[in-house]
Structure 1
């Protein structure tokens, strides 16, 4: 059932992204009165799942979920319909239109994916706001996993800055450590003084490859009482803080929790801080499960709420930040020293990012992010992609010389080979990581 939920989310997201992208090409082509012969979600080699024709356009759903396409009359595209190009030019064909119109048709899909991301982020900001854990609220520092300890962090360290920039949103902090092409300088507060840690690039790469960023740091939470559910500890009140158990002190909630589990069924001496300055002690029984019968106070998450008008610039700003971040990652992939090319993933990797339970906020977050990836990947100047078509048209616009059909056909073949290689490499990585390694 869990895998089915993942698959449904993946295909729903993919269908939305492809439909919006191809709709961009379709709408812009129709604006300029260019004939569109086919509009397909997914590819349809040999047969389609269903199709119908309206006007001059055949609409359909293919069976191969590797993308989608619109077949625009008079254009050399993935259909490689060279016979059509040998026929006399018709006024409703792509090749009959001026370069600036053809350029707009080419980039319309990318523009639509960016617009979709902006719309989704606006909706997320307005509906759910922006919830995160702020570094400023980590008053007791963090506990680090094994990867963090190897990098030189100590439990209890408080983050101050990364490469001179103040640390705030913890998710962004961890992301900045794994998306890097150079050493990182991190300043932490340790035992009342600031300590600088230089994190070497090769160690950050190793941490990223071994997924050491998962649970890299967790905020240290004091043992604060939210409510009492067991009368054996009725002396406790909401807001009390347990600062010592027996002769053990200086731990966070997780540390005290481990101590209680080790003394399940026993009695312990609690030292309690009340209203910030009053201390008292009393004996309390520990249950067979290693608990006291209290509910602790949890993390204090910050939520930035937006009105609809405020959500618009917030959504645009978030889209810009995600595009910038993904572009940085893309640049790192082509730099061998970062070894990020080893982590390219295909359809299995994409599908695995969806949770096994349905969460609309998470679904739309993932859809917006993947829409940006689709936009950025398609605008790359690779023949066969929108960016490849656009670059030739842009050259024609500035030079006044049209690229010959033979060059376009050759470029299309080269582009298809590059795209096929990338698909095989990325999905081969998936097979190795998920089924062999």
Structure 2
């Protein structure tokens, strides 16, 4: 059931974005009197489709292959590779008969709509729900630092005052692209000393293999436990476990077996007092594969437990997080617009920076995700805010990806149109046809690579 919810959210979000993207091409083409022959959600590969109907000379339908969608524009070399039509004399209502500037607008139509959709989504989310953020200067106990944070020179209890000289207001900015893309300088208060820590440009590679909490998180005091690792109905076999008939049982952690219960307050590990949860984690992880002696308070009584630590250095408990200093800000309809614009632009720019770092080898291509990975991000429960936030992020990502100068994508067509406008004559149809084939091979290879990434991740590799 969880898999169906994830897949359903993904299909809904992508369907909305694909329809609107193709609608951008459709409306631009019709505005210039260009004939559109097909408008499809998903691909009707090899002529198979779920359903279709005709209206106004256009065939509308839904294909069976859920990898996007398309509009078939008359007189244009596209993924349909309709060479027979291109062999006929050009007609005034065909794409190829129109001025280059009109064709350029048609090709940019989908990208423009995706950008507008992203802006509108972020604008309306900000207007409807406002923004919540952790107030950085009220984190009196500072930060908890994972292994990656320690590698770059941070310590538990540090207080980060600024990023690149700009005062840090929202704690969340510490785990945003401002820092994770590297080369950011953090101004840190340690005790009564101010020092500067530079985040290396390979930090995102390391974090992508772990969790963001292994970098920096707010520091929590040890209080009554919220979770103790008991069997969880949501941690059963995944789709791939079922597919390959692998037996997977919900994990039972040592703390549960030893008798530790939610509500217990751990006060020491191996007779070492633990005030903060990061101190507890560090002491437990140092004893990986061995037993630890834990003292805890339960309803005013001192309890003693001897707990084996797993090879990964955990016993399976989670703290009841103290209420974080969270601020909520509401914005008016017009105040929300520049915030939505900034969120959309930041997402677009982050995609550009990410691709640039992949090309230079500073970020691993293993971070590329297929629809499988995206579905996992949507999650197994429907959350209206999360759904629209992710859909807005994907809309901006689609705008950027379609702008890449790869034949077969809108950006590839844009490049050839710009060449035509510069040299004042069209690029030959043979070149366009061959480029389309090359682009198709590139896109299929990227898709196979992305699916392979997510499949391997499902096997823990």
Shorter-chain TM range is: 0.7 to 0.9
Q: Would you say 1:326 and 2:325 are equivalent positions?
A: no
Partners of 2:456 and 2:274 lie apart in 1 by 45
> Partner of 2:427 in structure 1?
403
Match of 1:358 among 382, 393, 410: 382
Matches within 5 A, 1:23-42: 23-42=23-42
What are the Cα deviations for residues 375-420 of structure 1, in whole angstroms up to 9, with x where unaligned?
0000111111101111111222233211111111111111111111
Contact 2:108–2:414 (CA under 8 A) maintained in structure 1: yes
Superposed CA deviations along residues 234-290 of structure 1, whole A, max 9, x for unmatched, are: xxxxxxxxxx99xx999458879x9xx8333474xxxxxxxxxxxxxxxxx6799xx
Q: Would the aligned equivalents of 1:179 and 1:329 in 2 still touch at CA under 8 Å?
A: no
Distance (Å, rounded) in 2 between the aligned partners of 1:220 and 1:432? 33
Range that drifts further, 1-10 or 367-376: 1-10
Structure 1 residue 222 displacement after superposition: 6.3
Q: Which residue of 2 aligns with 1:187?
A: 187
Q: Secondary structure at the match of 1:49?
A: strand
Equivalent residue for 1:262? 295
- Write the distance in 1 (CA, Å) between the matches of 2:139 and 2:12: 38
Shift of 1:33: 1.2
* More moved, 41-50 vs 169-178: 169-178
Alignment match, 1:44: 44
Unaligned runs of 5+ in 2: 224-266, 285-293, 305-319
What is the distance in 1 between the residues matched to 2:144 and 2:169? 17
How many angstroms does 1:215 deviate by?
Answer: 5.5
Q: Sort the Cα spacing of 1:221 and 1:426 in 2 relative to 1 into closer, same or farther, 3 A.
A: closer
- 3-state SS, counterpart of residue 212 of structure 2: coil
Give a deviation string over 1:53-75, Cα, whole Å, max 9, x none: 11211000011011100000000
Question: Which residue of structure 2 aligns with residue 348 of structure 1?
Answer: 372
Q: Deviations over 1:60-91 (max 9, x none)?
A: 00110111000000000000001100111111
Q: What's the secondary structure of 1:52's corresponding residue?
A: strand
Please name the residue that 1:416 is paired with.
440
CA separation of 1:350/1:178 partners in 2, compared to 1, >3 Å: closer, same or farther? farther
Cα deviations across residues 219-243 of structure 1 (Å, max 9, x unaligned)? 235699xxxxxxxxxxxxxxxxxxx
Q: CA distance change for structure 1 residues 64 and 396 in 2, over 3 Å: closer, same or farther?
A: same
Partner Cα distance (1:206, 1:389) in 2: 33
Following superposition, the deviation at residue 205 of structure 1 comes to 4.9
Q: Secondary structure at the match of 2:297?
A: coil
Q: Secondary structure at the match of 1:68?
A: strand
Aligned length: 391
Q: Secondary structure at the match of 2:141?
A: coil
Distance 2:409 2:321 in 1: 54
For the structure 1 residues 56 and 350, does the alpha-carbon distance in structure 2 shift closer, same or farther, using more than 3 Å as the test?
A: same
Higher Cα Rg: structure 1 or 2? 1
Q: Do the aligned residues in 2 keep the contact of 1:181 with 1:332 (CA within 8 Å)?
A: no
Find the aligned partners of 1:296 and 1:394 in 2 and give their Cα distance.
56
Q: In the alignment, is the contact (CA less than 8 A) between 1:221 and 1:299 conserved in 2?
A: no
Q: Which residue of 1 aligns with 2:129?
A: 128
Answer with 31-40 or 128-137: which moved more: 128-137
* TM-score using structure 2 length: 0.78
Question: Closer, same or farther in 2 for the Cα pair 1:177/1:99, shift >3 Å?
Answer: closer
Gaps in structure 1 of 5+ consecutive residues: 225-243, 268-284, 289-294
Deviation for aligned residue 1:128: 0.7
Question: What residue number does 1:277 align with?
Answer: none
1:264 counterpart SS class: strand
Change (3 A) 1:266 1:330: same
1: CA distance between counterparts of 2:298 and 2:333? 54
**2:93 counterpart SS class:** coil
Aligned to 1:98: 99
